[in-house]
Amino acid sequence: MSMILRRSLLASLLLALAACTTTPRQPAPVEPETTPGHPALPDTDKPDDVTPPIDRPRTVISSALRPSSFAKLPGWSADRHSEAWSAFLSSCSILTRRPDWRKPCDAAKRIDGSDDTAVRNFFETNFTPYQVNNTDGTQTGTVTGYYEPLLRGARKRGGVYQTPLHRAPDDLLTIDFTSIYPDLKGQNLRGKLAGKKVVAYPGRAELMRTNALAGKEIVWVDDAIEAFFLQVQGSGRVQLPHGEVIRIAYADQNGQPYKSIGRYLIDKGELTMDQASMQGIKAWVAANPSRQEELLNANPRYIFFREEAISDPNVGPKGAMGLPLTPQRSIAVDPAYIPLGAPVFLATTQPGSKTLLQRLVMAQDTGSAIKNPVRADFFWGFGAQAGEIAGRMKQRGSMWVLLPK
């Protein structure tokens, strides 16, 4: 079967599943471009379902990367490269499996990672920077932020703890075409059996209305909006009544399309673009508690979690590579254009300002809304302060991916 026919088959199956769902699939709204300083619309959930490459991007999209030089990277020499070293070594634990990454990863073992000059010289010696270009030839794109939140919850429902975080249900199916069509690797469908047919898995509204997830609760938390934003971020921590803190990590999702609730409020005339940050959405809900369910159900996607123990509170959540993320040195990217694990030099600005943010980061995560070549989600870290910054971030930026010579 030709590639075109295989893609057509996949598209047909997607349409068939969409036709079966109780929440009709509509084209996702295109969010307008914003200028630096506009607050971020919470528009991502992680991780993505596309199996990311860890070598060079596929030939068909290699035009997105154009050779450059370190001299052209704005702020390269001023960065504290040593702060990205541990994140790079973490990437190497996986990248070293690829022949073209083995040499620089082996050379890294002989570098004093605390020495900024030594680390900078290492990258300049072993890598070539490639500027990332959009398909229309432009070289700037959107940079948003995300973080690991802290929620308060309990093992049993009661009192203020009324909002559940769920495990993946037993009837959720993931259909992987790889064994039949290898060129469709990573293009998965989700659904459930209805007799002998596979139909779309229900959206958020139906799951909540029918109580279909009863018995799959991991914990109950005290704030439905915080639980929603936990789904947006992809992972977080929950503090239990006696002080124990657990990590709630992404496990799966229902396969429904992601719809931005910030965009929903803008389209309804409830908020302006400038107001539709995470903080602005929370304020709107506080002023309109009777419409909370309406707002949350505007996004049919629902995230399922798994519980993880926290052995070291200083270690971040795992990204799409299965590696802990490093605050302010890890980003999520579109793996169709940027190899997951690769060093990336990011040139953007701090949230809500024109203050430069230019630094070496590692492409260690993905996100369902992180699409297009020049597109990044910047990981700010754990807690309320990180969340306050991440929630305001929607800046313009440029990116250079560093690939082995």
pLDDT at 367: 87
Which residues sit opposite 335 in a β-bridge? none
Give the three-state DSSP class for 125.
helix
pLDDT at 43: 53
Mean pLDDT calculated for residue range 215-241? 96
pTM: 0.82
Say whether pLDDT at 385 is over 50: yes
- pLDDT higher at 29 or 99: 99
DSSP state of 283: H
- pLDDT higher at 219 or 273: 219
- pLDDT higher at 35 or 301: 301
Mean pLDDT lowest among 22-36, 112-126, 160-174:
22-36
pLDDT at 123: 99
DSSP state of 39: P
Q: What ranges do the domains of the chain cover?
A: 36-163+215-260+299-404
pLDDT at 185: 65
- pLDDT higher at 189 or 363: 363
Residues 6 or more apart whose Cβ sits within 8 Å of residue 124: 70
Say whether pLDDT at 16 is over 60: no
pLDDT at 261: 96
Residue 169 tokens read as 């249900």
- The dihedral formed by the CA atoms of 116, 132, 341 and 92, expressed in degrees to the nearest 10: -50
Backbone angles phi, psi at 71, to 5 degrees: -65, -20
Say whether pLDDT at 26 is over 70: no
Cα 391 to Cα 361: distance, rounded to the nearest angstrom: 20
Tens-place pLDDT, residues 333-361: 999 999 999 999 999 999 989 999 999 99
Tens-place pLDDT, residues 153-191: 999 999 999 999 999 999 999 988 777 777 766 677 899
Say whether pLDDT at 47 is over 80: no
pLDDT at 365: 96
How many secondary structure helices (H) and strands (E) does the chain include? 10, 17
Which residues sit opposite 399 in a β-bridge? 346
Mean pLDDT calculated for residue range 280-308? 97
Q: Is 334 exposed, middle or buried (0-12, 13-18, 19+ CB in 10 A)?
A: buried
pLDDT at 360: 99
Rounded alpha-carbon distances, angstroms, from residue 398 to 82, 280, 349:
21, 27, 10
Say whether pLDDT at 23 is over 90: no
Specify the pairing of strand 303-308 against strand 235-239: unpaired
pLDDT at 274: 87
Of 400, 397, 399, nearest to 33 by C-alpha is 397
* End-to-end Cα spacing for the chain: 37
Mean pLDDT calculated for residue range 84-109? 96
Mean pLDDT comparison of 27-31, 155-159, 197-201, highest-scoring range: 155-159
Backbone angles phi, psi at 100, to 5 degrees: -75, -15
pLDDT at 45: 59
Indicate the fold that domain 36-163+215-260+299-404 takes in CATH: Barwin-like endoglucanases (2.40.40)
Say whether pLDDT at 58 is over 70: no
